[in-house]
Amino acid sequence: MSFVVANVASASLCLICVYILTWRFRRLRLSLPPGPRPLPFIGNLLDLPRKHEWKTFTRWGGIYGDVVYLTIFGTSMLVVSSVEPAVDLMDKRSAIYSDRPRFPLVDLIGQDWNLGFMNYGKPWQKQKQAMMSKFSKTAITAYRPAQHRALRILLKNLLDNPDNFTEHLRLYSGQLIIDVTYGIPISSRDHELIKTAEAVMHSISVALSPVFSVFNLTHLLQVLPHWLGGGRFSNLVQKWQSDARALHEIPFDMVKASMDSGTARPSYASSLLENLKPQDSSDEESVVRDTSAVAYGAGADTSLAAVSVFFLVMLQNPRVQKMAQDELDRIIGSSRLPDHGDQPELPYITAVMKETLRWHAATPLGIAHMLTTDDEYRGWHLPAGSLIVPNVWGMLRDPKTYDSPAEFRPERFLRNGKLDCPVDKDPARILFGFGRRVCVGRHFVQDAMFLLIAQVLSVFTISTIDGGSPSKVDMTSGGVSMPMLYKCLIRPRSEIAKRVLEDDILSADDV
């Protein structure tokens, strides 16, 4: 009997050895994906562009293919510029592609609580579930009154002082997300909560920029004192840490105080706090505080980027603007403003919304995923620990998916006058991320964008100041990208449209 057991054990050991040797041999035979030739030690550090990285990555995609391999100080990076590998890896293999790399500089500036940068695990899952419960497709209807409040103020400001439209858009974006998240009314662009959110998003954008990749892809911050960059750098880090604490704590404490006094307005934070039970631990409250800060910080900047792009593309595409207004006149008429309930009858407006999100992504590069174990794809070896960077801008400008991608053409989402946007063509499928890291705010963003586009075009015409052709407008670089400053003429379409807006303002008690 012992002889049989010994033989079985020996045979099993041999099979295991053969399997390991075969696996190692296969791995050695597999090549890495193509990419720019790296230099010794620093790898492709000098190849990284200092701005508009997504354009360089897209150009590389045309040279090397839709999966480009880079190495920075020994860290492997895969830039994915088409939908197929993005879905294959981050969706279909999400079990091993859902982690995040460590971003030491992001941690240094006080963002270690941020869901967007947390490692995949139970704390992350708990936060994600909390946000999904309040930002699902059905749950977001609770935030429509906040959308109307912010939009009504925007329309009034555009009517009263159209030349200052950029500041009005900033106020709208800040008002909307702070109202939705905390139920706190904001009346001024200079409100501290708006300024704090903008400061925090700027600090994150800087921390994730290629200029600082040496700190995020190495352990230098662990071995170098923070003051090494000089007093200016140290002071800047301290300010960013202070901003992060303010964003994280101040509005949340305001909500709790208003709930105690019975004056709280409905909001994401208050609804979750109301659901807490006396026996719940402080960790449960921390989940509400952390996720509220995530929505507040990220939402204002991305919302501003999207609405700024909308005004720009209307300025540059008067034909599209006219067709959208013709649909509004035909379906809504001139006696009222459009509402969410009109969306099924407004396919062209919906197509304009989708094309706005596609034409220039507010977040041109998704936050990197991290591969947790060795993998194989298309005959390539993908090393564990590799960073997977979704080139969202490149995917949304892929001519294999979108004909003439540089053109702003809502008709690409229509067929025979009806909305025709299958999942594989829907920009939201790409813009809001992949796999388990998909953005929980995707339904809210599209809901708010539809209402803004419909009501703005119902009331106003957007055109060049001198009636000539619009000049080219560059986009900002960074984690969130939007048009640089530009001028346009915003005026009521007619006296009737102006009167409808004024009547709507008079009938409201929140302007």
- Number of CB atoms found within 10 A of residue 236's CB: 15
Measure the CA–CA gap between 76 and 274, rounded to whole angstroms: 45
Strand 380-382 versus strand 387-390 pairing type: unpaired
Cα→Cα distances 25→202, 381, 429, Å: 47, 12, 38
| CA proximity to 226, closest of 146, 358, 110, 137 | 110
SS3 250: helix
Cα→Cα distances 100→87, 104, 143, 203, Å: 17, 12, 30, 19
- Give me the half-sphere count of Cα atoms (radius 13 Å) on the Cβ side of residue 80: 26
Helix (H) or strand (E) holding 347: helix 347-359
- Do residues 328 and 506 make contact, with C-beta atoms less than 8 angstroms apart? no
- Cα radius of gyration (the chain): 25
Measure the CA–CA gap between 476 and 180, rounded to whole angstroms: 27
Helix (H) or strand (E) holding 2: helix 2-29
Helix axes 282-316, 268-275, angle to 10 degrees: 160
| CA proximity to 266, closest of 410, 106, 150, 144 | 144
Q: Which residue has the tokens 């995923």?
A: 369
The number of residues making up the chain comes to: 511
Measure the CA–CA gap between 21 and 229, rounded to whole angstroms: 48
Does residue 14 have a known ligand-binding role? Answer: no
The per-residue DSSP string of 24-72 comes to HHHHHHSBPPP-SPPBTTTBTGGGS-SS-HHHHHHHHHHHH-SEEEEEE
DSSP code at position 391: B
End-to-end Cα distance, the chain: 89
Measure the CA–CA gap between 364 and 314, rounded to whole angstroms: 21
State the binding site: 439
State the binding site for heme: 439
